[in-house]
């Protein structure tokens, strides 16, 4: 199976057994595109947040996830698509509430907060891809 690089969509089973394989494909593409080691750490955190959420929540039955990476001048783009339940992870504002003690805060949502914080751009669309309606999340990361 080819890696998730060079601007073409790659399809994988939405299953944790594929996580490491997909991660390696994405990090190889980032390194090839010249993404700095510091930015690769941010990429890996965002990648994990999005992919694990798709694998864990998008489908009731087995499904697929599509991943595409692309170099864009001084940036690196990673895109995710799935035919799971419609869900916009960017819809809510997950900023930590400073006035609430840590032990009283509700769990969840902080991964998306970090994605929004660490990436230059995060966009969600629910649109037709691969023959049916799909969740489509695009993240843009500065290379340096």
CATH number of the domain enclosing 73: 3.30.565.10
pLDDT (mean) for 116-131: 96
Structure tokens belonging to residue 123: 């966009």
Is the pLDDT reported for residue 95 higher than 80?
no
Tell me if residue 20 falls in helix, strand or coil. helix
Q: Predicted confidence band at 20 (pLDDT cuts at 50, 70, 90)?
A: very high
Q: Residue 65 — φ and ψ, nearest 5°?
A: -125, 140
Contact 36, 99 (CB under 8 A): no
Is 84 part of a structural domain of the chain?
A: yes
Is 5 part of a structural domain of the chain?
A: no
Question: Across all residues in the chain, what is the average pLDDT?
Answer: 90
Is 16 part of a structural domain of the chain?
A: yes
Radius of gyration of the chain from Cα atoms?
Answer: 15
Is 86 part of a structural domain of the chain?
A: yes
The predicted-structure confidence for 40-82, as pLDDT tens digits, reads as follows: 999 999 999 999 999 999 999 999 999 999 999 899 999 999 9
Q: What local confidence, expressed as pLDDT, does residue 136 receive?
A: 98
Is 1 part of a structural domain of the chain?
A: no
Is the pLDDT reported for residue 1 higher than 60?
no
Look at the chain and report how many structural domains it folds into.
1
Is 4 part of a structural domain of the chain?
A: no
Is 99 part of a structural domain of the chain?
A: yes
Is 107 part of a structural domain of the chain?
A: yes
**Residue 21: enclosing H or E segment and its boundaries?**
helix 19-32
Contact 24, 40 (CB under 8 A): no
Domain that holds residue 103: 10-142
Is the pLDDT reported for residue 122 higher than 70?
yes
Q: What local confidence, expressed as pLDDT, does residue 119 receive?
A: 97
């Amino acid at each position: 199976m080819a890696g998730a690089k060079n601007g073409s969509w790659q399809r994988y089973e939405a299953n944790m057994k594929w996580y490491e394989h997909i991660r390696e494909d994405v990090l190889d593409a980032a390194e090839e595109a010249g993404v700095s080691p510091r930015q690769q750490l941010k990429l890996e955190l965002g990648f994990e947040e999005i992919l694990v959420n798709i694998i864990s929540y998008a489908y009731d039955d087995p499904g697929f996830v599509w991943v595409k990476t692309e170099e864009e001048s001084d940036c690196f783009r990673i895109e995710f698509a799935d035919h799971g339940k419609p869900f916009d992870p960017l819809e809510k504002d997950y900023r930590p509430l400073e006035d609430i003690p840590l032990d009283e805060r509700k769990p969840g949502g902080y991964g998306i907060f970090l994605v929004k914080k660490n990436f230059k751009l995060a966009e969600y669309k629910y649109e037709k891809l691969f023959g049916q309606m799909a969740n489509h999340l695009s993240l843009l990361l500065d290379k340096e």
